[in-house]
Amino acid sequence: MIARIWHGKTPKSKYETYNHFLLAIAIPDHKSTPGLEQLRFLRRIEGDEAHFLLITYRTDMEAIREFAGEDVEKAKYYPEGKDFFLAFEEYVLHYEVFEAG
């Protein structure tokens, strides 16, 4: 199993609006892709910024390719989300899961 980790940040003022976007668009998209084992979206406010951390667990790199495209290291952004972010982090991290409790 492979964990894919993405981080993004929005202005604090867009915290709830972006959360609704995630529930309506991003999370259903993730869940509709074959090979998804688990999804965790984490969020917190730090000063005037809202941080979002997405960790998805997929069966293998092929399942990640199904979701992200051929360049699996690049972050996937939705056109509808372009107005939320303070910056677009270009890359994600991947880790092999060797133990799950």
How many whole angstroms separate alpha carbon 39 and alpha carbon 70? Answer: 21
Threshold 0.75, pTM exceeds: yes
> Tens digit of pLDDT for each residue in 44-95?
999 999 999 999 999 999 999 999 999 999 999 988 887 899 888 999 999 9
Note the pLDDT of residue 70. Answer: 94
Domain 2-96 listed as CATH 1.10.287.1260: no
Amino acid code (one letter) for 83: D
> Percentage of the chain with pLDDT > 70?
100
Note the pLDDT of residue 53. Answer: 96
**Burial classification of residue 68, based on how many CB atoms lie within 10 Å of its CB (0-12 exposed, 13-18 middle, 19 or more buried):** buried
Note the pLDDT of residue 101. Answer: 79
> Tens digit of pLDDT for each residue in 4-41?
999 999 999 999 999 999 999 999 999 999 999 999 99
